[in-house]
Structure 1
């Protein structure tokens, strides 16, 4: 559904545009008042804490309370909803890399933040077709939102009735008769199987700390209550910490590149911890990791932004009612993984998808179309995924492989990526 009305989350990160396009909503939820009360009592809070509460508060968070965040009725659209070709290319990549290392079983596909289940659905279709079923395969989904779990279950497993048990147990996917399990954290995913970890637009939603370089060195950017705020209508603002905070001491030093007053840097401890955990998992238990997200190699600073109704939205307005997101720093992620795993990429989405054969797949799908209008929809989806001015350049693919495969990857490079520098 590549419609023009959809504004993806990579559309812009200009702070000025955010302020111009977003206006406070009349009825703010309780989360604004809860955060304001906390700040008045404890003082300004890190951006990471504000972001975590806004997205994952148990009863008032953006992702924990809504199932309509994706698509036309939601706030943004992602690649799997745009075209089946995206999930198919990811599925082909998974089967190809799994076969190259001997098709070990049991094997589990682990998707972090599966959204509507569209990517998992298309991936299972490919796996079932290429492997003639899903024998020895399980699907493990890491999801904290009960509304989204229901949507995923119905999409993957058919029209089911939900009781009090969420996530449901004992379900199997329509495609391949694959058992499906849900977990609230990745640490709960079983360790007794070869694991293929997929993280599509997951790391961008993990909380970030924001820092600004001042005459006194790096200082953390905090969220405070605005002077114009009232108890019934809280408003927030950014402030600069007067003294070094624990986060500024741990994550940034005065020697960091970009020591000019006003320069901003963002660090996501949660993303770094996840990268470390996944690298350790595939090293100890076998497997590999594929990450698809928008990001950079350390050259960008202020990327935090919000989206509501497919438009840019002020991140400090209506916490819990808009999506908050920040670009992934792949360079920092590579440094965190270090020698624990082999880092492949990142490469632009258009490079990965074309290397995987999306051009050929588009032509095959067009030949099967029953009308010219249907063929144009397929072409429009293809362009949105691969055009450098749309998703093709902004989004990146990044992979991790166990160190034991270092010499192997010399002879058999990872599909979709240029040969690794090992």
Structure 2
């Protein structure tokens, strides 16, 4: 899964109508703006620490960051910008939108100082291990030119996700700051097979043509929360994305945008509903935050 996704992202821009899927920042500017306000509010209530950096893991085309940074500037926060991104195709797109960013291949290379870390639809693309009912890890073989999994899935785990959660928690505990993770998955421990593939905005066979489609699995938020707490950070949530966006004021922002562009009212309201409605992204997607000791509780939780 790791090798397939590394090749997939390194060789294409998968986002938008011409790609394979659309993420929340590409649906509406409101998503990134509210994340920017969340960051600026937390920074202010933490005492406006100097040297703070905005960090985004897997920043796509840079759309979320551009919208968030614009909102932060309006609130008086102009942070350093650091992206964790390995795809040369996506780095080029990000540079067009956020030219002053600094890029890293690995989160371990992030700078010293307080960090405001955003991970939107990042943990779901990290590789999972799958186990049968007896706890044996399942393997794959190749038959007829495609991968075939041997056995039935009882549980999943993401060692890579747990390791990353611990690393990020350790950094914010040591340096100050917060993490905001937004992804899809259960708020309570889940079981079963959640590995899936998407191509051309439709579900695809995850075992065929590795490297040609996006592979993801549900994020196990309880496991991430336990890893973060184990490093000494406080955990807030997870909370459904729709509830979090409503608490952050998406309805007010949508109304303001509609007033400034009345001809776009229907489009703006449609985007708001797509992000918040329970039957769309509002319930399946969750938001969870982690904060350093001594930092205030973040907004929206």
Name which of 236, 242, 247 aligns with 1:344.
236
Name which of 31, 34, 46 aligns with 1:86.
31
The equivalent residue for 2:3 is: 53
The equivalent residue for 1:3 is: none
Name which of 71, 81, 86 aligns with 1:144.
86
Structure 2, gaps ≥5 residues long: none
Q: CA deviation at 1:55?
A: 0.7
The equivalent residue for 1:235 is: 146
Structure 1, gaps ≥5 residues long: 1-50, 158-171, 173-179, 241-261, 418-422
Q: CA deviation at 1:301?
A: 2.1
Go from structure 1 to structure 2 and tell me whether the alpha carbon gap of 1:379 and 1:341 turns closer, same or farther (over 3 Å shift). Answer: same
Deviations 1:306-331 (A, max 9, x none): 00000000000110000000011011
Paired with 1:200 and 1:337, the residues of 2 have a C-alpha distance of: 17
The equivalent residue for 1:273 is: 163
Q: CA deviation at 1:377?
A: 0.6
Q: CA deviation at 1:375?
A: 1.0
Residues 1:194 and 2:114 aligned together: yes
Residues 1:154 and 2:63 aligned together: no
Paired with 1:389 and 1:404, the residues of 2 have a C-alpha distance of: 37
Deviations 1:65-104 (A, max 9, x none): 112x001010000000000000011111000011111010
Residues 1:387 and 2:277 aligned together: yes
The equivalent residue for 1:353 is: 245
SS in 2 for 1:218: coil
Paired with 1:367 and 1:402, the residues of 2 have a C-alpha distance of: 38
Alignment of 1:257-406 (within 5 A): 264-296=154-186, 297-339=188-230, 340-371=232-263, 374-405=264-295
Paired with 1:100 and 1:301, the residues of 2 have a C-alpha distance of: 41
The two structures, once aligned, show a CA RMSD in angstroms of: 1.2
Return the index of the structure with the highest Cα Rg.
1
Q: CA deviation at 1:263?
A: 5.6
Paired with 2:73 and 2:33, the residues of 1 have a C-alpha distance of: 12
TM-score where L is the length of structure 1: 0.69
- Do the aligned partners of 2:36 and 2:71 also contact (CA within 8 Å) in 1? yes
- Do the aligned partners of 2:197 and 2:206 also contact (CA within 8 Å) in 1? yes
Runs of 4+ in 1 over 4 A off after TM superposition: none
TM-score where L is the length of structure 2: 0.96
Q: CA deviation at 1:53?
A: 1.2
Q: How many residues align?
A: 299
Q: CA deviation at 1:285?
A: 0.8
